[in-house]
């Protein structure tokens, strides 16, 4: 049964972004509008031992500049993922050009009562920092340098600080954001790979619709620029091998090639995008302008179609890890169809599609099939946009960064540049294109994820009703 279309959209009145282009929405928009590649040699870690020598890093964050004095002591238990989300949330809720003007975090007048403000922040399995683990692991080695479980319990774990776990729990992104902004309403953390951000924003949308909150802070953050996170990308078959087999790729702008038959994978990226959501009526009453509106949301889960060694192969694995992206196409089409039905929008009423474009052949082919299944002939005509050639694979942050890009495109009535270092795929509007003016009424954002979760939202211009 098709979902009943909404009668009232949910407004995005605040937006905060931290990306490899810099701090802030304007830095992000300027980067994607120009089609600038932010991929380079990483400065925060030594990548010489990795098969991929490149990453897309956001700027360093001095958290004392982003936290109230009373809260700065908690900066020491903020992993990089948490820092990114906290800074983006501050911007989304703040008083800047793209802030929602929520009000003082420390006792002043508030736009919403604490109990009516929700927090939904998507996250990944946060990768611990190697130096911290190395000390503990070394202490747990026996005389031959082998792992000793008894010594780990007796000595090794003691090398970790008592609050070590609080630095790496995925729900700590939402935890710190909710405390800082006195958001005591419904709260959730969704860890579903690249779909985490879209799912979190969709969940916040539903919470407001059913009256459980009046507003919500929602989005996601993630950093793959970490030794363990990079290894996880490699094991998932997603990492471009730029330093293996004589590849010798020196031009970072030529690495990630979405929907190209010769695509080799992506590079580690990082970032965060956080939205402030409320009803258009509430925004109007507060004198706050909607940047864009959420018209519809849909999600679906891919069922594995491939089996190996007696068990199912995880959906979303790249071909180098034995994956075939089986089931992703159908789940993505289902998610998009649900979002369109939820919004009461036909495929040919979508002006642009902000999609994943992972730059991995099997995944991109599944995404292409999903787009065609959901949009029909319109998939050939719709303008496409993706982020990985510019900022790499940001995993859990990817979906919310796409929503931020789509919201800005609607607000500015301009399409960002479509960066395509390869040749693209026949049957899709996937060749390179510069930024250009466009009449944008409705934009589709969709993504698939490692693990098979797929999600989509339909956004409208700020005045949509």
Is the Cβ–Cβ distance between 104 and 290 less than 8 Å?
no
Q: Which residue has the higher pLDDT, 313 or 315?
A: 315
Take residue 191 and report the two structure tokens written for it: 């860890």
Is the Cβ–Cβ distance between 115 and 49 less than 8 Å?
no
Is the Cβ–Cβ distance between 194 and 356 less than 8 Å?
yes
Q: Write the pLDDT tens digit of every residue in 189-223.
A: 999 999 999 999 999 999 999 999 999 999 999 99
With 60 as the cut, is the pLDDT of residue 68 above it?
yes
Q: Which residue has the higher pLDDT, 440 or 154?
A: 440
- Stretch 163-178: mean pLDDT, rounded? 94
Q: Write the pLDDT tens digit of every residue in 319-349.
A: 888 877 778 999 999 999 999 999 999 999 9
The confidence score (pLDDT) of residue 208 equals 96
Homologous superfamily (CATH) of 10-136+161-286 is: Thiolase/Chalcone synthase (3.40.47.10)
pLDDT > 70 in the chain, percent: 96
Angle between helices 172-180 and 80-93 (to 10 degrees): 30
With 50 as the cut, is the pLDDT of residue 143 above it?
yes
Q: Which residue has the higher pLDDT, 217 or 51?
A: 217
The confidence score (pLDDT) of residue 248 equals 57
With 70 as the cut, is the pLDDT of residue 412 above it?
yes
The confidence score (pLDDT) of residue 4 equals 55
- Stretch 225-233: mean pLDDT, rounded? 94
- Stretch 69-90: mean pLDDT, rounded? 96
pLDDT > 90 in the chain, percent: 76
The confidence score (pLDDT) of residue 311 equals 74
- Stretch 229-255: mean pLDDT, rounded? 84
With 50 as the cut, is the pLDDT of residue 395 above it?
yes
With 60 as the cut, is the pLDDT of residue 37 above it?
yes
With 90 as the cut, is the pLDDT of residue 264 above it?
yes
Q: Write the pLDDT tens digit of every residue in 266-308.
A: 999 999 999 999 999 999 999 999 999 999 999 999 987 777 7
Q: Which of 19-23, 38-42, 101-105, 313-317 has the lowest mean pLDDT?
A: 101-105
With 50 as the cut, is the pLDDT of residue 1 above it?
no
- CA 346 to CA 335: how far, in whole Å? 14
The confidence score (pLDDT) of residue 246 equals 47
- Stretch 176-193: mean pLDDT, rounded? 96
Q: Does domain 294-461 bear CATH number 3.40.1180.10?
A: no
With 80 as the cut, is the pLDDT of residue 36 above it?
yes
Q: What is the pTM of this model?
A: 0.94
- Stretch 355-366: mean pLDDT, rounded? 95
Q: Looking at the chain, which residues constitute the CATH 3.40.47.10 domain(s)? A: 10-136+161-286, 294-461
Rounded to the nearest integer, the mean pLDDT of the chain is: 92
- Close Cβ partners of 252 (under 8 Å, ≥ 6 residues apart): 37, 39, 40, 54, 267
Contacts 24+ apart (CB under 8 A), 431-436: 433/383, 434/35, 435/33, 435/34, 435/35
The confidence score (pLDDT) of residue 381 equals 94
């Amino acid at each position: 049964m098709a979902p009943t279309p909404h009668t009232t959209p949910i407004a995005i009145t605040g937006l905060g972004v931290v990306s490899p282009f810099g701090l802030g929405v304007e830095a992000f928009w300027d980067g994607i509008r120009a089609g600038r590649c932010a991929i380079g040699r990483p400065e925060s870690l030594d990548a010489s031992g990795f098969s991929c020598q490149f990453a897309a890093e956001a700027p360093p964050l001095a958290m004392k500049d982003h936290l109230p004095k009373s809260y700065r002591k908690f900066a020491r238990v903020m992993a990089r993922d948490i820092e990114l989300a906290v800074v983006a949330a501050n911007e989304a809720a703040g008083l800047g050009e793209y802030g929602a003007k929520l009000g003082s975090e420390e006792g002043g007048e508030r736009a919403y009562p604490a109990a009516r403000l929700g927090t939904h922040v998507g996250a990944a399995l946060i990768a611990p920092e190697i130096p911290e683990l190395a000390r503990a692991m070394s202490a747990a080695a026996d005389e031959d340098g082998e792992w000793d479980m008894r010594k780990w319990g007796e000595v090794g774990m003691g090398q970790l600080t008592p609050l070590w776990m609080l630095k790496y729990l995925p729900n700590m992104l939402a935890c710190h954001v909710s405390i800082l902004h006195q958001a005591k309403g419904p709260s959730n953390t969704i860890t579903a790979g690249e779909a985490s951000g879209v799912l979190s924003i969709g969940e916040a949308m539903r919470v407001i619709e059913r009256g459980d909150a009046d507003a919500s802070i929602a989005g996601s953050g993630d950093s793959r620029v970490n030794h363990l996170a990079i290894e996880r990308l490699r094991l998932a078959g997603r990492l471009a091998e730029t330093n293996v087999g004589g590849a010798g790729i020196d031009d970072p702008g030529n690495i990630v090639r979405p929907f190209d038959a010769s695509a080799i994978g992506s590079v580690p990226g990082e970032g965060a995008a956080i939205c402030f959501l409320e009803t258009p009526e509430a925004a109007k009453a507060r004198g706050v302008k909607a940047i864009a509106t959420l018209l519809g949301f849909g999600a679906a889960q891919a069922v594995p179609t491939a089996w190996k060694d007696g068990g199912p192969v995880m959906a979303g694995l790249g071909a180098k890890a034995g994956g075939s992206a089986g089931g992703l196409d159908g789940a993505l089409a289902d998610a998009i169809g649900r979002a369109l039905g939820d919004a009461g929008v036909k495929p040919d009423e979508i002006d642009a599609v902000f999609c994943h474009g992972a730059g991995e052949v099997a995944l991109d082919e599944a995404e292409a099939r999903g787009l065609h299944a959901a949009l029909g002939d319109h998939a050939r005509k719709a303008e496409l946009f993706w982020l990985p050639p510019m900022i790499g694979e940001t995993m859990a942050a990817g979906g919310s960064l796409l929503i931020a890009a789509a919201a800005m495109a609607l607000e500015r009535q301009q399409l960002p540049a479509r960066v395509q270092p390869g040749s693209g795929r026949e049957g899709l509007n996937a060749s390179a294109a510069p930024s250009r003016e466009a009449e944008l009424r409705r934009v589709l954002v969709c993504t698939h994820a490692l693990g098979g979760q797929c999600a989509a939202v339909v956004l409208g211009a700020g005045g949509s009703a």
